[in-house]
């Protein structure tokens, strides 16, 4: 069983968000998938197998953190598409059958891959009691991001506040299904990004996710409305860091980035 580690939403190794990728003939039992994801111990491990021709999708795709299976994952989808294209296992746009419906990944001639994901529905909510203390900053606004993501989206005062966050991860776990997205407008858009974010997901075993494609299905519509443009670039300011180009198209959001394979080997058990 071939296994690869791919850094996603980056054009260089040891940056972006690492994901395990395994291309299979079929899915083994869930316990085995979870054990492999725990062994890989990255934010997500993606498992994919080809589907019969003539259907609505080309490959089945599932994502597991070290703790649980998740309903949507952007960076591991990008990583899987990168492996399919770089190995020749699939050419052209690839349609993935997932728990979040059919997701399409389209390679560009320059090596960038564009993902077509459902736009997260944003519902304004009151800032939950205790979340400011848990986050370590006072939110300006709060939004529920809907069932596919299950996060609480919080805008804070400025970019420097996002960089400086040192949240109480255990306390944050009480405030959403998956975790918390903290965001602010970019201080200097001339640096090539329009907004900044950090993502904390204690309820799925991830204290801080390096670069989160799925979170950008909520960040993109939020900032597109605020900034008056459908196409934006987000910087996720984790220690590894990475950029996600976004474009909101109504009920769908495009997420674009690159990926680099850094490790390839065999799973022996």
pTM: 0.95
- 269: which residues sit within 8 A by CB, 6+ positions away? none
Tokens of 183: 């965001």
Position 269 scores a pLDDT of 85
pLDDT tens-digit map of 143-152 = 999 988 999 9
Q: 231: closest CA among 182, 184, 195, 259?
A: 195
Task: Compute the distance between CA of residue 253 and CA of residue 104 in angstroms, rounded to an integer.
Answer: 11
Active site residue 44: yes
pLDDT, tens digit only, all 269 positions of the chain:
899 999 999 999 999 999 999 999 999 999 999 999 999 999 999 999 999 999 999 999 999 999 999 999 999 999 999 999 999 999 999 999 999 999 999 999 888 999 999 999 999 999 999 999 999 999 999 999 998 899 999 999 999 999 999 999 999 999 989 999 999 999 999 999 999 999 999 999 999 999 999 999 999 999 999 999 999 999 999 999 999 999 999 999 999 999 999 999 999 98
Task: Compute the distance between CA of residue 233 and CA of residue 255 in angstroms, rounded to an integer.
Answer: 9
- 255: which residues sit within 8 A by CB, 6+ positions away? 74, 78, 114, 115, 117, 213, 216, 217, 220, 244, 245, 246
Pairing between strand 123-124 and 195-201? Answer: unpaired
Position 81 scores a pLDDT of 98
From the list 39, 44, 225, 251, the catalytic residue is 44
């Amino acid at each position: 069983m071939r296994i690869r580690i791919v850094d996603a939403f980056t054009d260089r190794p040891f940056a972006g968000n690492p994901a395990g990728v395994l291309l299979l003939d079929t899915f083994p039992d869930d316990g085995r998938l979870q054990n492999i994801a725990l062994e890989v111990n990255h934010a997500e491990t993606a498992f994919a197998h080809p589907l019969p021709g003539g259907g609505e999708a080309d490959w089945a795709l599932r994502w597991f953190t070290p703790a649980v299976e998740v309903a949507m994952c952007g960076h591991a989808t990008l990583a899987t598409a990168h492996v399919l294209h770089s190995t020749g296992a699939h050419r052209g746009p690839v349609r993935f059958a997932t728990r979040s419906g059919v997701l399409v990944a389209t390679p560009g001639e320059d090596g960038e891959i564009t993902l077509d994901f459902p736009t997260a529905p944003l519902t304004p909510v009151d800032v939950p009691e205790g979340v400011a203390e848990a986050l370590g900053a006072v939110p300006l606004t709060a939004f529920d991001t809907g069932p596919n993501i299950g996060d609480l989206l919080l805008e804070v005062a400025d970019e420097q506040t996002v960089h400086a966050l040192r949240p109480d991860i255990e306390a944050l776990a009480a405030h959403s299904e998956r975790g918390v997205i903290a965001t602010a407008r970019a201080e200097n858009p001339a640096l090539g990004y329009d907004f900044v974010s950090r993502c904390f997901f204690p309820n799925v075993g991830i204290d801080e996710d390096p670069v989160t494609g799925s979170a950008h299905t909520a960040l993109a519509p939020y900032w597109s409305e605020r900034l008056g443009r459908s196409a934006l670039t987000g910087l996720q300011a984790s220690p590894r860091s990475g950029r996600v180009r976004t474009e909101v198209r109504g009920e769908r959001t495009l997420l674009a980035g690159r990926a680099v394979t850094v490790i390839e080997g065999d799973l022996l058990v």
